């Protein structure tokens, strides 16, 4: 009986040592014949934890999206249904976001934001288009410097994780910080996958 116990303990120790060495190798496929991934622990409050590979996302909003912004509910602004923006957006696991707008580059087509989860499948995004040029009255396409624009979004992710929708508020400012525009509306987004084609986005 004691011999069986010793054999089992020796086998257990060998497995533990192999696991430690494999982790230390960080995926040396030549040494162990298989690709190993670096891992980290994600704590879940004070209860249990789960082991994730570092590439795993902790939140389903993370990824790339095709997003449309449409005016709705403006008394003095654009009419309901007027397109405000059409963009490619990435939400990152570190709580940051990037947007490539369909607007002309000189008019401010690149924006950045930060996001926070506020409930089950619910998120808020605080997002800024930085300084650009006012092209509205410029025949050359490059006008006077224009100030930043802030998008504030409140959105809900669909149960399948492939769409989100919600509302946005857009506030634009001149370079001195005076507000020059206020637009509200709705958002509709579809996840971009490895199979998405360019015609899918048009």
Reported as a single tens digit per residue, the pLDDT across 72-103 is 999 988 999 999 999 999 999 999 999 998 87
This prediction's pTM? 0.68
Q: Say whether both 33 and 103 belong to one domain.
A: no
Looking at the structure, tell me whether residues 154 and 180 fall in a common domain: yes
Residue 148's pLDDT is what? 86
Residue range 20-40: average pLDDT?
40
Q: What is the pLDDT of residue 131?
A: 72
- Quick one: 68 and 167 in the same domain? yes
Beta strands 96-101 and 39-43, pairing class: unpaired
38 and 127 inside one domain: no
User: Do 120 and 99 reside in the same domain of the chain?
Assistant: yes
- Whether residues 41 and 136 share a domain: the answer is no
More confident residue, 174 or 25: 174
Cα diameter, the chain: 93
Residues 112 and 26 in one domain: no
Residue 7 sits in the same domain as residue 49: yes
**What is the number of structural domains in the chain?**
2
Domain membership of residue 30 (yes or no) is yes
pLDDT the model gives residue 52? 46
pLDDT of residue 116 exceeding 80: yes
Q: Which residue, 112, 193, 117, 105, is CA-closest to 157?
A: 117
> Encoding tokens for residue 102?
């369909």
What per-residue confidence (pLDDT) applies to 4? Answer: 56
Q: How big is the CA angle at 5 (ends 4 and 7), to the nearest 5 degrees?
A: 65
Full domain range(s) for residue 20? 2-53
Q: Give Cβ neighbours of residue 187 (< 8 Å, ≥ 6 apart).
A: 67, 68, 69, 70, 153, 155, 164, 165, 166, 167, 168
- Note whether 187 and 153 are within 8 A (CB): yes
Per-chain mean pLDDT for the chain: 77
pLDDT beyond 60 at 32: no
Same domain, residue pair 49 and 72: no
The 10s digit of each residue's pLDDT in 117-175 is 999 999 999 999 887 666 565 566 565 667 788 999 999 999 999 999 999 999 989 88
Same domain, 45 and 95: no
Domain-located, residue 58: no
96 lies in the same domain as 73: yes
- Same domain (yes/no): 31, 116: no
Query: Which two structure tokens, joined as six digits, stand for 123?
Result: 């998120």
């Amino acid at each position: 009986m004691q011999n069986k116990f010793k054999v089992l303990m020796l086998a257990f120790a060998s497995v533990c040592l192999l696991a430690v060495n494999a982790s230390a190798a960080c995926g040396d496929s030549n040494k162990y014949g298989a690709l190993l991934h670096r891992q980290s622990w994600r704590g879940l409050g004070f209860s249990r934890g789960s082991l994730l590979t570092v590439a795993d996302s902790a939140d389903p909003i993370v990824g790339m999206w095709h997003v449309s912004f449409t005016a709705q509910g403006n008394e003095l602004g654009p009419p309901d249904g007027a397109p405000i923006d059409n963009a490619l957006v990435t939400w990152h696991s570190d709580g940051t976001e990037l947007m490539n707008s369909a607007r002309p580059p000189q008019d401010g087509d690149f924006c950045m934001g930060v996001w926070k989860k506020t409930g089950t499948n619910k998120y808020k995004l605080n997002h800024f288009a930085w300084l650009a040029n006012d092209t509205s009255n410029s025949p050359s396409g490059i006008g006077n410097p224009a100030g930043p624009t802030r998008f504030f979004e409140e959105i809900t992710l669909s149960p399948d994780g492939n769409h989100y929708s919600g509302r946005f508020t857009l506030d634009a400012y001149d370079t001195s910080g005076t507000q020059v525009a206020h637009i509200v509306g709705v958002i509709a987004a579809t996840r971009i996958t490895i199979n998405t084609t360019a015609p899918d986005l048009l």
